[in-house]
């Protein structure tokens, strides 16, 4: 069925896109009316049930979003910081209860107290200016540290569009095969969590014959605690766009889609402005710089669904389908967007490509450690003395990031959740054992992932954090596979019951549940949740044992 719907969606493609039309239909009230569901069903030849299923999936389209005017961040970082109850109490003075919704996460993890109103994000002390924000549309910008220790691949000063796009001229003077060889030499691996070599994806797509191909930038950075993609899209958008153009040249793709999460409204606007700027200068369009190669972009604003960070769910989302994870094979490089060959890569991964082209694959491979080449952006939350985005060479000791760059902790911390909600829960006494690379994290039973850091202070109960992780997964599950959909809900119920009554969790049953999720889930949402749960049971057993009966 999903393949047939993908073919139907291709009729109008990216020019008149069903997913965007749903967003437009919901813009006035916060949800899509029954009349609009029927209209769009007829217009796109989708069944009403399919359109309704899509509509009711997303946070910013579903019926209970109607009438919402302000949204409070419910991400892990704001939760552990404890800022949101007071924030919501203050917002309640200016908005009715029915007008207050929730978003996860706004990428303001460096200062918390995060909320969204009037199409903009706010955090920190901005709540003190809520009257001006609400009535005068005042914009209160956030500030965070940005620094580098090692090679500046992603955080260097931008030289201007004309100077920067000299890299495009160099790329177009080379053959796709030569560029692919440089990327293979570089060892560049996916920065979104999986660490998959980008050259492998590009080569697979390049070798799949078709008249139409796509490069999709997965900018649905939904991991609470991570805001490195937000930094790139808002401060270095041309590195992302140029990386996508070069990827298109290598594979033979003529269109790029930048799928940006709806929780990052500023990133959507800035990226679109950057696209318009390079179009005006002739760096995209037909016959770019007389090369015979044509390429253009579509910027899409997502509608609130963590699962769209999974590449196949993201492709279904763009097509206007319910964003459920697809069974693989076939892989996106053979059958992706609109059933055409597609490369899907994370923001940071694509942003590294221009540096590789400019300096060579060997130069990139010389940075880092072992198979973890290049640099990595790390997001530090508000529990650090110097929170912000830090670029470090792969292999940099985690202690250097925590103490030298982050300035240590503001208060006593017992654990750091690194790599998003599906990453490892790292006790502070393990900091000295880790370095920022894929291998040492895996060897120690953790996951580098997005390299986002959410701190848990001494006073924050681990059992409450486990409850939060199960609840997050249950809410964000696409529902396609039983282990994730049911397992996350049953896990939440058990933990919640142990917190609100004298119920004791059966440890064997609990272990069986997370093992089933780990080995039976279709994607990393259900399959990854057990990692921080197991870390919690291993390193914080003394704190947790009162909630278990054996």
| H or E stretch covering 2 | helix 2-10
Supply angle C-alpha 335, 341, 343, rounded to 5: 110
Token pair for 122: 């706010």
Residue 147 gets which letter from DSSP? Answer: E
d(CA 322, CA 53): 6
Residue 504 has pLDDT above 80, yes or no: yes
User: Do 36 and 29 contact (CB within 8 A), yes or no?
Assistant: no
Residue 489 has pLDDT above 80, yes or no: yes
Is the Cα dihedral 9, 15, 20, 26 positive or negative? negative
Residues 6 or more apart whose Cβ sits within 8 Å of residue 109: 75, 77, 78, 224, 225, 226, 227, 379, 381, 382, 387, 452, 454
User: Do 184 and 199 contact (CB within 8 A), yes or no?
Assistant: yes
3-state SS assignment for residue 454: strand
Residues 6 or more apart whose Cβ sits within 8 Å of residue 191: 346, 347, 348, 349, 352, 376, 377, 450
User: Do 39 and 368 contact (CB within 8 A), yes or no?
Assistant: no
Residue 2 has pLDDT above 80, yes or no: no
Residue 544 has pLDDT above 90, yes or no: yes
Residue 367 has pLDDT above 90, yes or no: yes
φ, ψ of residue 523 in degrees (nearest 5): -135, -175
Supply angle C-alpha 336, 337, 343, rounded to 5: 60
* pLDDT range class, residue 56, cuts 50, 70, 90: very high
Token pair for 451: 């390299």
Per-residue pLDDT at 193: 75
Residue 1 has pLDDT above 70, yes or no: no
3-state SS assignment for residue 122: strand
Percent of the chain whose pLDDT exceeds 90: 94
Q: What are the strands, taking DSSP E only, across 368-503?
A: 368-369, 372-373, 375-380, 388-393, 413-418, 424-427, 452-457
Residue 392 has pLDDT above 60, yes or no: yes
Q: pLDDT tens across 201-245, in order?
A: 999 999 999 999 999 999 998 888 999 999 999 999 999 999 999
* pLDDT range class, residue 12, cuts 50, 70, 90: confident
* pLDDT range class, residue 498, cuts 50, 70, 90: very high
What is the chain's mean pLDDT, rounded?
A: 96
Per-residue pLDDT at 195: 82
Per-residue pLDDT at 373: 97
Residue 305 has pLDDT above 90, yes or no: yes
* pLDDT range class, residue 316, cuts 50, 70, 90: very high
φ, ψ of residue 222 in degrees (nearest 5): -100, -5
pTM: 0.96
CA distances from 40 to 5, 19, 51, 314, 316 (A): 14, 10, 8, 20, 17
Per-residue pLDDT at 75: 94
Residue 315 has pLDDT above 70, yes or no: yes
Per-residue pLDDT at 23: 96
d(CA 31, CA 26): 4
CA distances from 100 to 92, 115, 117, 509 (A): 8, 10, 10, 38
Q: Are strands 388-393 and 145-149 parallel, antiparallel or unpaired?
A: parallel
Q: pLDDT tens across 169-207, in order?
A: 999 999 999 999 999 999 999 998 778 899 999 999 999
Return the higher-pLDDT residue of 337 and 223. 337
* pLDDT range class, residue 550, cuts 50, 70, 90: confident
d(CA 264, CA 231): 10
Residues 6 or more apart whose Cβ sits within 8 Å of residue 198: 183, 188, 189, 190, 345, 349, 353
Q: pLDDT tens across 400-445, in order?
A: 999 999 999 999 999 999 999 999 999 999 999 999 999 999 999 9
Per-residue pLDDT at 374: 97
* pLDDT range class, residue 8, cuts 50, 70, 90: confident
Residue 46 has pLDDT above 80, yes or no: yes
Residue 490 has pLDDT above 80, yes or no: yes
Per-residue pLDDT at 97: 95
* pLDDT range class, residue 26, cuts 50, 70, 90: very high
Residue 357 has pLDDT above 70, yes or no: yes
Q: Convert 261-319 into a string of H (helix), E (strand) and C (coil).
A: CCCCHHHHHHHHHHHHHHHHCCCCECCHHHCCCCEEEEEEECCCCHHHHCHHHHHHHHC
Token pair for 269: 């606007």
User: Do 507 and 549 contact (CB within 8 A), yes or no?
Assistant: yes
Q: pLDDT tens across 248-302, in order?
A: 999 999 999 999 999 999 999 999 999 999 999 999 999 999 999 999 999 999 9
Residue 15 gets which letter from DSSP? Answer: T
Per-residue pLDDT at 3: 77
Per-residue pLDDT at 280: 97
The whole-number average pLDDT for the span 93-116 is 95
Percent of the chain whose pLDDT exceeds 70: 100
d(CA 110, CA 353): 28
Per-residue pLDDT at 192: 80
Q: pLDDT tens across 439-461, in order?
A: 999 999 999 998 999 999 999 99
């Amino acid at each position: 069925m999903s393949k047939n719907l993908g073919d139907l969606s291709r009729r109008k493609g990216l020019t008149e896109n069903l997913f965007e039309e749903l967003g437009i239909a919901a813009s006035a009230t916060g949800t899509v009316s029954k009349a609009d569901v029927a209209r769009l069903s007829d217009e796109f030849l989708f069944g009403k049930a399919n359109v309704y299923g899509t509509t009711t999936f997303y946070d910013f389209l579903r019926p209970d979003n109607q009438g919402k005017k302000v949204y409070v961040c419910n991400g892990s970082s704001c939760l552990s910081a404890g800022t949101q109850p007071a924030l919501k109490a203050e917002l309640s003075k200016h908005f009715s209860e029915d007008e207050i919704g929730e978003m996860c996460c706004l990428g303001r993890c460096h200062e918390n107290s995060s909320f969204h109103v009037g199409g903009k994000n706010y955090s920190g002390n901005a709540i003190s200016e809520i009257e001006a924000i609400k009535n005068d549309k005042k914009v209160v910008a956030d500030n965070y540290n940005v620094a580098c220790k090692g090679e500046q691949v992603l955080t260097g000063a931008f030289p201007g569009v004309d100077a920067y796009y000299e890299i495009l001229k160099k790329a177009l003077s080379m053959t796709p095969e030569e560029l692919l060889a440089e990327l293979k030499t570089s060892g560049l691996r996916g920065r979104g969590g999986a660490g998959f070599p980008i050259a492998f994806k590009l080569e697979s797509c390049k070798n799949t014959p078709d008249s139409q191909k796509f490069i999709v930038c997965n900018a649905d950075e939904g991991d609470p605690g991570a805001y490195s993609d937000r930094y790139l899209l808002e401060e270095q958008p041309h590195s992302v766009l140029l990386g996508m153009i070069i990827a298109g040249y290598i594979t033979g793709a003529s269109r790029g889609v930048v799928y940006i999460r709806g929780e990052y409204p500023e990133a959507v606007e800035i990226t679109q402005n950057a696209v318009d700027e390079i179009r005006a200068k002739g760096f995209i369009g037909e016959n770019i710089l007389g090369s015979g190669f044509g390429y253009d972009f579509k910027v899409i604003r997502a509608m609130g669904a963590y699962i769209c960070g999974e590449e196949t769910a993201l492709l279904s989302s763009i097509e206007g389908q319910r964003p459920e994870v697809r069974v693989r094979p076939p892989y996106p490089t053979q059958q992706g967007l609109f059933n055409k060959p597609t490369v899907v890569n994370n923001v940071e991964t694509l942003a590294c490509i221009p540096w590789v082209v400019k300096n060579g694959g060997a130069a990139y491979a010389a940075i880092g450690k072992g198979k973890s080449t290049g640099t990595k952006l790390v997001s530090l939350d508000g529990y650090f003395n110097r929170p912000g985005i830090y670029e470090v060479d792969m292999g940099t000791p985690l202690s250097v990031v925590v103490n030298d760059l982050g300035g240590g902790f503001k208060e006593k911390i017992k654990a750091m959740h690194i790599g998003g909600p599906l990453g490892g829960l790292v006790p502070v006494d393990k900091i000295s054992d880790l370095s920022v690379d894929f291998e040492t994290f895996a060897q120690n039973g953790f996951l580098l992932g997005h390299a986002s850091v959410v701190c848990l202070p001494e006073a924050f109960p681990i059992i409450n954090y486990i409850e939060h992780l199960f609840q997050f997964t249950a809410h964000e599950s696409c529902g396609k596979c039983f282990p994730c959909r049911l397992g996350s809900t049953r896990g939440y119920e058990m933990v919640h019951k142990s917190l609100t009554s004298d119920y004791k969790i059966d440890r064997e049953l609990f272990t069986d549940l997370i093992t089933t999720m780990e080995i039976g889930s279709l994607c990393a949402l259900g399959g990854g949740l057990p990692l921080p749960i197991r870390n919690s049971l291993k390193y914080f057993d003394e704190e947790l044992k009162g909630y278990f009966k054996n």
